[in-house]
Amino acid sequence: MSDTTTAAATSVAPASTETVLSVENLKMHFPVKGSGVIRRTVGHVKAVDGVSFEVAKGTALGLVGESGCGKSTTGRMVTRLYKPTEGKINFEGTDIANYTGRQLHPMRREIQMIFQDPSTSLNPRHTVGSIIGAPLRIHKMVPKDKVLSRVQELLEIVGLNPEHYNRYPHEFSGGQRQRIGIARALTLQPKLLVADEPVSALDVSIQAQVINLLQDLQKEFDISFLFIAHDLAIVRHFCPEVAVMYLGKIVEIGDRESIYERAHHPYTQALLSAVPDVKQAAIGGRRERIRLEGDVPSPINPPSGCHFRTRCAIAKDICSVVEPPLLQIGKKHKVACHFPGEIHQHPEKPVTAPLLGVDEFGAPDPGASPAEVPGDGPGYADTWYDLANNSRGRA
């Protein structure tokens, strides 16, 4: 996305704190089959390995992280294209994680998905009118004789010529095709849109237009978004809240300011160091570039303890023994690291050790009295771990 767009007014804070989606300990473990005649399961790809988050009404949660960290799999579970291996997907208070096809039918109206590549997600043999009109017919949203006028209305809403309903997808440009995909997702007036890299297949000049369209639609129809992207500048622009994933887990989650101005996880810090920062450039400063060494390990056999430890510059003994819990360290800020802190301010001792009842090397500490980890769930607690005083804070 262009700097101009990034610097433009960012999306407004959520008007309401009502939760639309609450995901709890969600897992997707794909079986890996052996090559013999009897294709036994020989392992599992732990694509998503216990993520929890919430999306408030009318707002957007951004899901970011390197390729293969489990973003799309998370989105596909939320839309129930995949049935999760484990965990809860509470949509407006109802757990749909184990719903059957029949139970899901009415839910499909409420949760829709926008895909990355509009040229493959639209059927080339169908006209735009029939692509957008199909959900209206299937769900009997409007009488048959009103389908065409509703399709034309939707085309107009997404900025396309309503008279073009009889054209085929290949007769449109990439940006226009994504607008068709958005119109199709809007047909059933969803409450939640899962947008999986909605602009990454588009030219930079078109990206801003499509993002602005999504923002207008969000305001007009009060839609909540789970917005998946690897471009941190776009996410900063669109999402008031952000979750950072690494190897199937959320390593840091918080409001925009906490993540972009005060990231406490070494992985988030490394990701952000690669983003050109308009504001810092303007004051003559530069973010320190942190290079991530090595490749992302296989999700079939992730590292013990902290999944990030094989690439972390500040890892210590405890990191290979104990998995760091997602610890709430601010009103809207959680981090999964034994040594959370801003760059060059990571503590010497693992702050999590006393809470977990282990010593600084990760061995059980008989003298310790383990405590509940603040923020260990989908939402935010009203008390949290205050890193400055090593005690609990309050809103």
Ligand X SMILES: Nc1ncnc2c1ncn2[C@@H]1O[C@H](COP(=O)(O)OP(=O)(O)OP(=O)(O)O)[C@@H](O)[C@H]1O
> What is the binding site for ligand SF4 (CB under 6 A)?
265-266, 306, 308-309, 312, 314-315, 319, 324, 337-339
* Displacement of CA 104 from its chain's centroid (Å): 22
79 near ligand X (CB under 6 A): no
72 near Mg ion (CB under 5 A): yes
* Displacement of CA 88 from its chain's centroid (Å): 16
In which residue are the tokens 């297949």 written?
Answer: 201
Nearest to 178 by CA among 151, 153, 214: 214
Window of 64-72, 162-170, 259-267, 355-363 that interacts with ligand X by CB under 6 A: 64-72
64 near ligand X (CB under 6 A): no
108 or 230: whose CB is closer to ligand X? 230
Q: For residues 2 and 9, what is the distance between their CA atoms, to the nearest angstrom? A: 13
Q: Which of 11, 22, 52, 73 binds ligand X (CB under 6 A)?
A: 73
Q: For residues 383 and 334, what is the distance between their CA atoms, to the nearest angstrom? A: 12
Q: For residues 370 and 39, what is the distance between their CA atoms, to the nearest angstrom? A: 44
Q: Is the dihedral of CA 298, 302, 307, 308 positive or negative?
A: negative
Which of ligand X, Mg ion, ligand SF4, none does residue 354 bind to, with CB < 5 to 8 Å depending on kind? none
In this structure, are residues 192 and 111 in contact, taking their beta carbons and an 8 Å threshold?
Answer: yes
Q: Is the dihedral of CA 74, 381, 385, 261 positive or negative?
A: positive
Amino acid (1-letter code) at residue 218? Q
Which of Mg ion, ligand X, ligand SF4, none does residue 70 bind to, with CB < 5 to 8 Å depending on kind? ligand X
89 or 244: whose CB is closer to ligand SF4? 244
CB atoms within 10 A of CB 338: 30
Which of ligand X, ligand SF4, Mg ion, none does residue 67 bind to, with CB < 5 to 8 Å depending on kind? ligand X
69 near ligand X (CB under 6 A): yes
| Smallest separation, CB 226 to ligand X (Å) | 12
Helix, strand, or coil here: 330?
A: strand
Window of 66-74, 98-106, 271-279, 314-322 that interacts with ligand X by CB under 6 A: 66-74
71 near ligand X (CB under 6 A): yes
68 near ligand X (CB under 6 A): yes
Q: Name the CA radius of gyration of the chain, rounded.
A: 22
Which of ligand X, ligand SF4, Mg ion, none does residue 319 bind to, with CB < 5 to 8 Å depending on kind? ligand SF4
* Displacement of CA 259 from its chain's centroid (Å): 14
44 or 349: whose CB is closer to ligand SF4? 349
Q: Which of 30, 99, 221, 361 binds ligand X (CB under 6 A)?
A: 30
| Smallest separation, CB 349 to ligand SF4 (Å) | 12
Q: Which residues in the 217-256 window bind ligand X by CB under 6 A?
A: 230
| Smallest separation, CB 324 to ligand SF4 (Å) | 4
**By 3-state DSSP, what share of the chain in percent is helix, strand and coil, each rounded to 5?**
35, 20, 45
**Cβ-proximal residues to 345 (8 Å cutoff; 6+ apart), any chain:** none
| Residue numbers at the binding site for ligand X (CB under 6 A) | 30, 45, 47, 65, 67-73, 230, 299
| Residue numbers at the binding site for Mg ion (CB under 5 A) | 72
